[in-house]
Amino acid sequence: MISRFGLSIIIVSFNTSKLLYNCLESVYTHLIKAKFPFEVIMVDNASSDDSVSMVKKNFPRVKLIINSQNIGFGKANNQGYTAARGEYILFLNSDVVALEKSIERLYGFIRRHPKAIVGAKLINTDGTPQPSCGPFYSLPVICIMLFFKGDKFGLTRRSPDKTIKTDWVSGACFISHRDLLGDGLLFDESIFMYMEEIDLMYRAKKSGYKTIFYPNARFIHIGAASSKSNAMPVVNIFRGLTYFYQKHHTRTANDILKGMLFVKSLIAIILGVLTLNEKLRSTYAKAIRTL
């Protein structure tokens, strides 16, 4: 039997060497005097940069899992979870920087609320809050996201200053007891990237668990660091949304979703043609082919 202890921190990286260095440095700097044992597991998704050699040189304590191909965010996190020995699991993006006391506060909070998934407050590099929690993506919420610029009222996502129960928190930084994740609640490996954390938290809620946004733990999040192609985030978001609806909702709801995504794509393609914006046109031309 594997002996359990403190905290396991799982970081998945794909070609983010410089950001990964900052992430790991922040973790070890702030946990150097931690009163609980911890381990860091880095899963590399076949990076072509010097991510692996950088970790070996600068952070020899990190446990490395090196993949020969990019297997996706969810599956790589599952690999890290399988190798983890901690009683609590912190999933951290490689483009996240831990601020002082942030990990300790998150760890202390989850120990007081072990039957929950807990997400931290994410902030941008300029110090402004980054919306990182919200309601599940119902059709009205998706409609607002697709066709209305901005969300001044926090209907789709927000960043409150007080601890609240919510439907989802950002997958860039969240923590849970390992038993909750081990109860059939790991990432769905059919989702390559985007929507995997929302699917996880949707299943957790159906099983009676809660998700909590905890703003007293603060992390800087760069965002979209592993998505080099401008088209791929949109394509993967479309794929993630349609898969999520096919899995959890009725066929009618999924058809309505696909219709909204089709209209959004068509508008974007026409706008791209009229404004000579080839990136916009080609991005949504690729996305529409996923429907």
- What CATH number is given for 5-221 in this structure? 3.90.550.10
pLDDT one-digit tens code per residue, 87-134: 999 999 999 999 999 999 999 999 999 999 999 999 999 999 999 999
pLDDT of residue 274 exceeding 90: yes
Q: What's the rounded Cα separation, in Å, for the pair 158 and 135?
A: 9
pLDDT of residue 181 exceeding 80: no
At 179 the pLDDT is: 87
pLDDT of residue 201 exceeding 50: yes
Q: What's the rounded Cα separation, in Å, for the pair 180 and 105?
A: 20
pLDDT of residue 226 exceeding 50: no
Q: In this structure, is the dihedral angle defined by the CA atoms of residues 98, 104, 109 and 113, taken in order, positive or negative?
A: positive
Question: pLDDT averaged over the chain?
Answer: 92
pTM: 0.91
pLDDT one-digit tens code per residue, 59-84: 999 999 999 999 999 999 999 999 99
What residues pair up with 67 in beta bridges, in sequence order? Answer: 45
The helix-helix angle for 51-58 and 17-31 (nearest 10°) equals 30
pLDDT range class, residue 185, cuts 50, 70, 90: low
Nearest to 262 by CA among 120, 112, 183, 146: 146
pLDDT range class, residue 227, cuts 50, 70, 90: very low
